[in-house]
A and B are shown apart, each in its own frame.
Chain A
């Protein structure tokens, strides 16, 4: 049977991808960010999971607002990394496991999570910005990803509680997969930031710390917050932190935080955390 061995919370700021591609790993302004991923990358290299399930959001790249899925799961041997207006990134396509993705789709739908599925579509920085900081991509990625996109762009978006429940359903899906795979669940997004309007540039470090603490000790509390609460406390786009709660649902119960890096340099509180079941 497949098993969830841990969880990762990570920002997916597009500039992380840009800085990575430009080789800014040792640039003093970027080093605290890249260094902060090292312990997580080391943990992954040691534990060698077969699959990373990504709860992430599309940024109107894979899908457009004329047909915008609330939850969508990707199926394919490969996932191209999308051109988001600045051309293609120098990275190989991300790898997928068709059988695993289909099993998860079947399990979720039979579990009353009527998820959309997508195939043959490129995926944007929601997955691709943090991935090379977690896994090496040369000669090829060491494992597969299962992308699960959550709409956090066009309201109504799912509630925090619904995301948590999706994580719980994902766990049932993973644990009913017959192969002995090791799986890590990744929740992407945040922390505090706002990227539109005159309030762009808003941050709230105090709230970010409270979120991270509640995330481990009392996630229930976070599932009770409304979108308006996230928007007010952490900035409009920080509402995407509900995707972390999907990861938390998959790790239901006590967890230990093995690592935390928080780097608020310009506009997004770039964060990476690592959890194991306690």
Chain B
């Protein structure tokens, strides 16, 4: 256990992205990361199944991507910082992704914010 991170076990809703997670979910993260490339984006839009198969995603991972299950992807080991690149391709804003990760509708989530118009 990394002593810098010790004592977070009771902190709910937080998934620390460390080398264990990174190693486990390398293919998934690389797939999401590649969405910063115009070619990868075009390939994915044209044939998402083919793109996912080429990236070596497992059936579970493919399903999470298909359903745009953001919290599921985080639990499967995705780093938020590559997940947000996929969110751009899926035409979702980060605020929308936060709401979905929390299991709230967008309006419910924004109602908890100080300046909901700031978007």
A residues apposed to B, CB below 8 Å = 14-15, 28-30, 33, 59-61, 64-66, 82-86, 153-157, 159, 194-201, 226-228, 231-232, 236-237, 264-267
A4 to chain B, nearest CB (A): 29
Q: Complex formed: what's the CA distance from A196 to B101 in Å?
A: 7
B76 interface contact, C-beta 8 A: no
Which positions 71-119 of chain B face chain A at CB distance < 8 Å?
71, 74, 79-89, 94-95, 98, 101-103, 109-110, 112-119
In the bound complex, do residue A84 and residue B95 qualify as a contact, i.e. CB atoms below 8 Å apart? no
Partner of B116, one of A198, A200, A266: A266
Which residues does chain A contribute within 8 Å of B7, judged by CB atoms? 228, 232
What are the 4 closest A-B residue pairs judged by CB atoms, nearest first?
A198-B13, A85-B88, A199-B13, A265-B118
Interface size, chain B (Cβ < 8 Å): 55
Q: Whole-angstrom distance between the alpha carbons of A231 and B16 in the complex? A: 9
Q: Verify B19–A154 contact, CB threshold 8 A.
A: yes
B115 and chain A: residue at smallest CB distance = A265
Chain B residues within an 8 Å CB radius of A83: 36-38
- Is B62 an interface position by the 8 A CB rule? no
Whose C-beta in chain B lies nearest to the C-beta of A198? Answer: B13
Contact with A along B31-46 (1 / 0, CB 8 A): 0010111100100000
Central interface residue in B6, B11, B86, B110, by most chain A CB within 10 Å: B11
A-B contacts, 20 of them at CB < 8 A, read A59-B84, A60-B85, A65-B22, A65-B33, A83-B37, A85-B88, A153-B79, A155-B16, A197-B14, A197-B15, A197-B71, A198-B12, A198-B101, A200-B102, A227-B4, A227-B5, A236-B16, A237-B80, A266-B110, A267-B113
B112 & A201 in contact (Cβ 8 Å cutoff): yes
